[in-house]
Amino acid sequence: MATSTPAARTDGQPPPPPDGSAGKGGAGRDGAAGQSRRNILHRLDVRAVPYAFIAPFFLIFGAFGLYPLIYTFWISLHRVELSTMDMMEWRGLANFTELIDDDRFWNALTNTFTIGVISTVPQLLMALGLAHLLNYRLRGSTFFRVAVLTPYATSIAAAALVFTMLFERDFGMINWGLSFFGIENVDWENQKWPAQFAISAIVIWRWTGYNALLYLAAMQAIPRDLYEAAAIDGASRWQQFRQVTVPGISATIVFTIVLSTIGATQLFGEPLIFGQGPNGISGGADNQYQTLGLLLYEEGWKNYQMGRAATIAWAMFLILVLVFVLQRVVTGFKARRPARAAAAPQKKAESTPSATS
């Protein structure tokens, strides 16, 4: 019965679910008892089965996502060593106070923040520009889309290995290219800002195309008449981009900012491999690019202090929560402003494309 292709239309409300008596065929033969049993089974089917269908997701997330997150907090209140993980010694908030006094924590926090900014801001801006270009009527648009997405198919490890070589001090291609501009032998790994820039370059390379496709999808959903109306009003291409495209995809922009922020807080593989070996875990000889993720790993799996590692994980979680609260406040603030501005000049609101369709 399901072999025919369905007509792609879903209109109106479906008829109410039939009860057992409406059943066709042999349903009536079984008599009253059979019918009521069937009825109960059917009700059970309609009532309970949806929950059974979504249960696997929640069970697995609960077991391997939510439970570990909460248990992380419990561990962070203890001293636990990697070699004797079943022995937990209560420490209260001592791990947290030690962490706050620990310079390495503040260093890792600052590095995570600066690398996060250097990698996210240019990435999303370039993705926006790229999406705008891809949104033109293009020859070979499929090629360009697949091409810019290809870095996304490269694993962190492989990408980091390749970029580590490109950023090599003595024979790397990037220094070779820079030498034509009079810049000689930048020591990308050993200097703080060059190292952070190089690590950011890996992140930018891998994710710009992916974000551009998300923006492109949102841009294509903007009704064309909005652009036509703006063009009639004499809006230039740039004004159209600012006033139609960007507001039109604002939800997706927020979405990518959220995803990139989460990604930036968790940064681990790129600096680890960029540091080549033992230097990677400490984030360079002077911890110049050690991120919170690396510090977590160093405490837990190099210094064997699982309790401290859990404390760092929980600190990362708190930072994320803080970022989202801030983001909400900022969005709320920005949304109120134009609302007031639009209320004042009435005739301007008439000429700009209306928000209500």
Partner 1 sequence: MTIDTAPVLADARERAPESPPPSGRFRFRRALRPGAGRTHHAGPLAYILLGIAALISLFPLYWTVVAASTDNTRVAQTPPPFLPGPNLLKNLGIAWQDAAMGKAMLNSLIVAGAIALSTVFFATLAGFAFAKLRFRGRNLLLLLVIGTMLVPPQLGVVPLFMMMAELGWGQTLPSVIFPTLVSAVGVFFMRQYLKEALPDELIEAGRLDGAHSLRIFWSIVLPIARPPMAVLFMITFVHAWNDFFWPFIALDMTNPTVPVALTQLSAGYVRDQSVIMAGALLGTLPLLAMFIVFGRQIVGGIMQGAVKG
Question: What's the min distance (Å) between Cβ of 10 and partner 1?
Answer: 5
DSSP state of 219: H
Is the distance from CB of 259 to CB of 323 less than 8 angstroms?
Answer: no
Could you say which of 176, 187, 242, 303 contacts partner 1 (CB under 8 A)?
A: 176
Q: Does 97 bind partner 1 (CB under 8 A)?
A: no
Could you say which of 154, 169, 190, 304 contacts partner 1 (CB under 8 A)?
A: 154
CA 268 to chain centre: 15
> How many other C-beta atoms can be found within 10 angstroms of the C-beta atom of residue 106?
12
The smaller minimum CB distance to partner 1, of residues 217 and 326, is found at: 217
Residues 6+ apart with CB under 8 A from 44: none
Could you say which of 40, 49, 93, 325 contacts partner 1 (CB under 8 A)?
A: 49
Question: What's the min distance (Å) between Cβ of 211 and partner 1?
Answer: 10
Is the distance from CB of 113 to CB of 296 less than 8 angstroms?
Answer: no
Residue 86, SS3? strand
Cα Dmax for the chain: 94
Q: Does 167 bind partner 1 (CB under 8 A)?
A: no
The smaller minimum CB distance to partner 1, of residues 118 and 249, is found at: 249
Could you say which of 21, 30, 37, 45 contacts partner 1 (CB under 8 A)?
A: 45
User: Which of the residues 180 through 219 are near partner 1 (CB under 8 A)?
Assistant: 205, 209-210, 213-214, 216-219
Phi, psi for 356 (deg, rounded to 5) = -100, 135
Residue 90, SS3? strand
Question: What's the min distance (Å) between Cβ of 101 and partner 1?
Answer: 21
Could you say which of 40, 93, 117, 153 contacts partner 1 (CB under 8 A)?
A: 153
Q: Does 71 bind partner 1 (CB under 8 A)?
A: yes
Q: Does 338 bind partner 1 (CB under 8 A)?
A: yes
The residue written with tokens 């494309």 in the block is: 353
Question: How far is it, in rounded angstroms, from Cα 75 to Cα 314?
Answer: 10
What number of residues does the chain have? 357
Question: What's the min distance (Å) between Cβ of 118 and partner 1?
Answer: 17
Is the distance from CB of 120 to CB of 204 less than 8 angstroms?
Answer: no
Question: What's the min distance (Å) between Cβ of 201 and partner 1?
Answer: 10
Helix axis angle for 192-220 and 103-134, nearest 10°, is 40
Q: Does 155 bind partner 1 (CB under 8 A)?
A: yes
Q: Does 296 bind partner 1 (CB under 8 A)?
A: yes
The residue written with tokens 């420490």 in the block is: 91
Question: What's the min distance (Å) between Cβ of 262 and partner 1?
Answer: 5
CA 142 to chain centre: 24
User: Which of the residues 258 through 277 are near partner 1 (CB under 8 A)?
Assistant: 258, 262, 265-266, 268-269, 272-273, 276-277
Question: What's the min distance (Å) between Cβ of 221 and partner 1?
Answer: 4
Q: Does 172 bind partner 1 (CB under 8 A)?
A: yes
Contact segment (CB under 8 A) with partner 1 among 102-110, 114-122, 131-139, 192-200 equals 131-139
Question: What's the min distance (Å) between Cβ of 100 and partner 1?
Answer: 19
Question: What's the min distance (Å) between Cβ of 287 and partner 1?
Answer: 18
Q: Which two tokens stand for residue 28?
A: 């009536």
Could you say which of 118, 249, 288, 295 contacts partner 1 (CB under 8 A)?
A: 249
Burial of 198 (0-12, 13-18, 19+ CB in 10 A): buried
